[in-house]
Homo-oligomer: A and B are copies of this chain.
């Protein structure tokens, strides 16, 4: 279990249920939730009512199904704007995209997983919230490994405990040791490679975003397909990538929120 022990009382339980509904990625019946949830019937029922009342979930009376609520979209907009690296990094990502002409991802760590907070892609027009918010495992992605390799010991320890080490492809790290073994190389080179570890045919080069005090706050990757490019090709983008992550790191360090006055 990648789940950590929760000690946050009623609120924690309610949010756990929110996560539960989210994992379905489709409207879901009460009984379906009941069968997976730890909570007894009446308790689960009450939580669903409360969350629906609050707009965190929505309930379709005709179909008798729960979905995620729009209040989340509103709240996330605020989160994305004021708490993610996206607004800060936007310019640098634009520049990087222009330089390399490949798909760019901006990621941060959330509960041991990689959370994509922004993206640039050379071809198709896309809407931010549609793609932002997607998650991926940390142990088998360039963005994930780039962050993990630069984490402080106890933060890393916590993150590693949350990895499930699902072996997506033949080259996926299948245990903790194998993953850790790569960190020295990543730290030495300053970049991490995804060698089709998450998806066959998809490779990437990723670099961490570091604050001036050394803390990792996120990472940027340049991703492509094996049919278009080799790892060697990606390596030629390294200078531009590092320049971008450096610039974002500097911006994140000096960034001050607007004075309260």
Chain A interfacial positions (CB closer than 8 Å to B) = 7-12, 14-15, 18-19, 21-22, 24-29, 32, 47, 50-51, 53-56, 58, 63, 65, 67-84, 86-87, 108, 110-111, 113, 115, 117-119, 127-135, 257-258, 260
B134 touches A77 (CB 8 A): yes
Nearest 6 interchain pairs by C-beta: A77-B133, A76-B76, A68-B79, A129-B132, A67-B83, A22-B78
**What would be 9 A-B contacts, judged by CB atoms less than 8 Å apart?**
A10-B10, A12-B50, A15-B56, A22-B74, A25-B81, A32-B260, A68-B75, A77-B132, A119-B127
Q: Which of A21, A47, A65 has the most CB of B within 10 A?
A: A21
Known A82-B25, A82-B67; judge A73-B117 contact (CB<8 A): yes
Residue of B nearest to A211 (CB): B62
In the bound complex, residues from chain B placing their C-beta under 8 Å from that of A127 are: 86, 118-119, 132
User: Which residue in B18, B54, B58, B65 is a CB contact (below 8 Å) of A75?
Assistant: B18
Q: Which of A14, A75, A86 has the most CB of B within 10 A?
A: A75
With A73-B80, A86-B127 given, can you name 11 additional A-B contacts, CB distance below 8 Å?
A9-B10, A12-B53, A15-B54, A18-B75, A22-B74, A70-B79, A70-B84, A76-B76, A81-B130, A118-B130, A129-B131
